[in-house]
Structure 1
Amino acid sequence: MSKRFKQLTKNADKNFNQMLIGVLIVAIGIFLWADKNYFFWPPQLRPLMNSEWSDIIFIILGICLLWAALTGNHSRKFQSILLIVASAAVAMLLVEQLWHVLFAHKIEMIMAVILDAGLLVMLIRCAYKN
């Protein structure tokens, strides 16, 4: 194996939680991009919440987290900013989904709320360990 590949696998092992978070955030972004009617409450915010821009932000954010983890998080400041922005994005997603559960009585979204809460805890833990 090449030296570069060994370093990438070493970084991936060292930053496994951050890589997992990055993959999950990319998956969330792709899912939201595919489903343009996911959010429906409140009706006034429906176009904003289902905007392609928020989906693109999730995808780019996840890719940046993956890239930073694979390259070894050389810049702690950049890693901190990425983790803070990702935490804010996931927290906002969690609140939006919680609104649907509480106010629109869309109880099926409770699993998404639980999984987003778990992802948020992982993000906070990574930021704390940083």
Structure 2
Amino acid sequence: MALLGLDLWSMPRYFFWPPQYVSLMNDDGIDALAVFIGIGLLTYAAFGTHNNRMAGVLLVGSVAFVSLIMVIELLHMVFIHQYQMGISTILCLYMILNIMDIAKNRNTRE
């Protein structure tokens, strides 16, 4: 998550369609949110804490962000035929499935 956010943060013009939403889709605040969630996930894993509420917020935030990125990339592929975003779309789908599997199978006992 942190690397995905940093990658999007480093490319200020990654998304370019639809033109009326370009500034919103390339907003640095949204990219910083992904970096923050990624650092939160790393910190949560490093300290070995078991807080169900924090884990839920981090997992929901990460799957929501990756889902948003995947939908935007799909829109680029379908409507303006930018097929080079296909690999990253597939990787986003893999991340979503992986996060959902982690959320389903993790130990919720404190």
TM over 0.5, shorter chain = yes
Per-residue CA distance 1:52-87 (angstroms, 9 max, x = gap): 001100100000000001111321221011101111
Superposed CA RMSD: 0.8
Asked if the contact 1:73–1:79 (Cα under 8 Å) also holds between the matched residues in 2, the reply is no
Matched positions, count:
106
Q: What's the CA shift for 1:31?
A: 0.8
Moved more, 115-124 or 66-75: 66-75
Taking only the aligned residue pairs, the percentage that are identical comes to 32
The alignment status of 1:125 with 2:73, answered yes or no, reads: no
Instruction: Give the TM-score normalised by structure 1.
Output: 0.79
Q: Which residue of 1 aligns with 2:61?
A: 85
User: Structure 2 unaligned runs (5+)?
Assistant: none
Moved over 2 A (4+): none
**TM-score scaled to structure 2, two decimals?**
0.93
> Which of 33, 46, 55 is 2:9 aligned to?
33
Per-residue deviation at 1:109?
A: 0.3
Q: Give unmatched runs, 5+ long, in structure 1.
A: 1-24
User: For the residues of structure 1 that align with 2:9 and 2:53, how far apart are their CA atoms?
Assistant: 29
Higher relative contact order (CA 8 A, sep 6+): 1
